[in-house]
Amino acid sequence: MNLSILIPIYNWDVTLLYERLLDEIDGNNLSSEVEIIFADDFSTVSQVIDANSKIAKNEREYVSFNYMGRNIGRSGIRNWLAQRSKGKYLLFLDCDVLPDRDDFISNYLNCILEDNYDVVCGGRSYKSRVLADKEYDYHEYFGNKKEVKSAEKRNLTPWRYILTSNIMIRKSAYECTPFNEAFVGYGYEDVEWGIKLSKSYRIKHISNTASHLGLVSKRQVYEKMRESVHNYLLLKKLFPEAFKTALISRFVDLFGYLNTNSLKTLDAVLGYFFFQKWINKWTAFVAFQLNFAVILAMAINKSKD
For residue range 236-271, list pLDDT tens digits in order: 999 998 888 888 999 999 999 999 999 999 999 999
Residue 92, beta-bridge partner list: 6, 167
List of domains in the chain: 3-215 (3.90.550.10), 219-304 (no CATH)
C-beta separation of 23 from 60 below 8 A: no
pLDDT (0 to 100) of residue 305: 67
pLDDT value, residue 186: 86
Residue 74, pLDDT above cutoff 80: yes
Share of the chain above pLDDT 90, in %: 88
Nearest 5°: the CA angle 147, 270, 299 is 80
Q: What is the mean pLDDT of residues 114-138?
A: 96
Per-residue pLDDT of 156-205, as tens digits, reads 999 989 999 999 999 999 999 999 999 888 889 999 999 999 999 999 99
Query: CB–CB of 89/3 below 8 Å?
Result: yes
Which among 186, 33, 43 has a CA at the least distance from the CA of 113?
Answer: 33
